Amino acid sequence: MWNTGCNNIGNTLNVGLTILDNEDHHHAVGVFAGGSANFNSTIFPWCSNSAEVRGKAFVVTSQDDGTLRAYLFQDYHTNHVCWSAEVNDPWGARQPVTNGSASFDPQRALSAVDIIILPDRVCAFPAQSENDTWETIFDGVCKAITVVTGVLGKALPKKPPSGGQ
């Protein structure tokens, strides 16, 4: 098993986001629309079913109305960092974060990643928090996005209950 930390989080959506570590509510960060924030290598929670995703994963919500935008977690079976925007069956709808913004291949296991929340998916890059590479990558991805639509750009139903079910 490979624990993966989340360093920087970039938000290409047109709404601010809050990311909350559902295992430790002391770990939370806000990311303005078009902005980025550092999540300080917080380890993605390990999950293996929908109940664990809802109870442990990073919960990404809209700062406007609190609607769920995505869950972020590490798949216990594959070691992939995954995301899901599905409320009822987040495990069944999970997708691995992609290896960069131009790829649809899963990101390989790394000690830490920088993630970018795109309108239709979540991508990851090897963490570069110690230099300016992160800003260069994020600026390039933001400039490449011309239409903000897709799965994560749409409002989903209100937040699910905070219980583990």
3-state SS class at 29: strand
d(CA 155, CA 152): 8
Mean pLDDT throughout 4-19?
95
Q: What is the mean pLDDT of the chain?
A: 84
State the pLDDT at residue 102: 81
Q: What is the pLDDT of residues 82-109, one digit of tens each?
A: 999 999 999 999 999 999 888 888 888 8
Segments of 25-130 assigned E as strands: 28-31, 36-43, 46-47, 58-62, 68-75, 81-84, 95-96, 98-99, 112-117, 122-126
pLDDT of residue 52: 98
Q: What average pLDDT does range 41-55 have in this prediction?
A: 96
Give residue limits of the domains in the chain.
Answer: 5-144
- DSSP bridge partners of 72: 58, 83
Burial class (CB in 10 A: 0-12, 13-18, 19+), 156: middle
At 136, phi and psi to the nearest 5? -65, -45
Model pLDDT, residue 147: 45
| Cβ 31 vs Cβ 52: under 8 Å | no
pLDDT at 158 over 60: no
Predicted TM-score (pTM) of this structure: 0.79
Q: Which residue has the higher pLDDT, 78 or 134?
A: 78
Rg (CA), the chain: 14
Residue 110: its pLDDT value, please? 85
